[in-house]
Structure 1
Amino acid sequence: MNVPVIPVELRAEGATLLLVWPDGARQRLAVAALRAACLCGPCRAARLRGKDPTQSIPADLALTGIAPMGYGVQLVFSDGHDRGIYPWNWLENFPSTPAQTTLTAPPGKATSSVAPSSMPR
């Protein structure tokens, strides 16, 4: 069985989710892109029906909650969506936000320090 690499820190920073991996690598992911790529059943079904998930995403979308769930993390978005669990290996391979992106929103309050030894397996 392949054990996923779990970030040592997760933090909302404005319009991005910052992940710090055990090797020290820092990854910034756009919150709106994560919401648009939600892996929950209803979101997947909507994409299969040809609906554009980005049409209903507010411009000021932010994270209001971050909850590690063993194999991944549940993200709670300011639009109320909280159904998707994003696997660690999926997040690790998700396209990062370019470093030159300017954040216009103030830093978010959603944070989580993940202690791998305390995570359920």
Structure 2
Amino acid sequence: MSTLQPIAAPLACEVSADLSSLSMMASGGSRVTLAAEKLRLSCKCAHCTRARFDERFPDRFPGIAIVEVADLGYGLNISFSDGHNRGIYPKSYLASLASH
């Protein structure tokens, strides 16, 4: 049986020039990139969680863009072009999204 190796939490991040993705550098020097749509679909804030519960959360966010990223130390607050800015993405969560 193999053991899953933990993925290092990202240390630095950068939004692509076209605002369609977030690139992150981990402590080991590895770089991963997450699409804005994947990030928006992965939001776990109370508003998005409730929308999923009520079956009104969209299946897609075509053309969504990242308009702002605030580093909170333990995670990132990402604002999107649809006006959504409530999600805080812990760095460990970002690392897990990158591995899937």
Equivalent residues of 1:30, 1:96 under 8 A apart:
no
Distance 2:82 2:13 in 1: 20
Query: Are the equivalent residues in 2 in contact too, given 1:28–1:96 (CA < 8 A)?
Result: no
Q: Identity, % of aligned pairs? A: 34
- Give the superposition deviation at 1:96: 5.8
More strand by share: 2
Q: Does 1:18 align with 2:27?
A: no
CA distance in 2, matches of 1:54, 1:68: 27
Higher relative contact order (CA 8 A, sep 6+): 1
Give the CA deviation at 1:81: 0.7
| Aligned equivalent of 2:96 | 93
Structure 1 unaligned blocks of 5 or more: 98-121
Q: Name the residue aligned to 1:39.
A: 44
What RMSD in Å do the two structures reach over aligned CA positions?
Answer: 1.9
Deviation (angstroms), 1:9: 1.8
TM-score (norm 2): 0.79
Mind listing any 5+ residue stretches in structure 2 that lack a counterpart? 1-7
TM-score by length of 1: 0.67
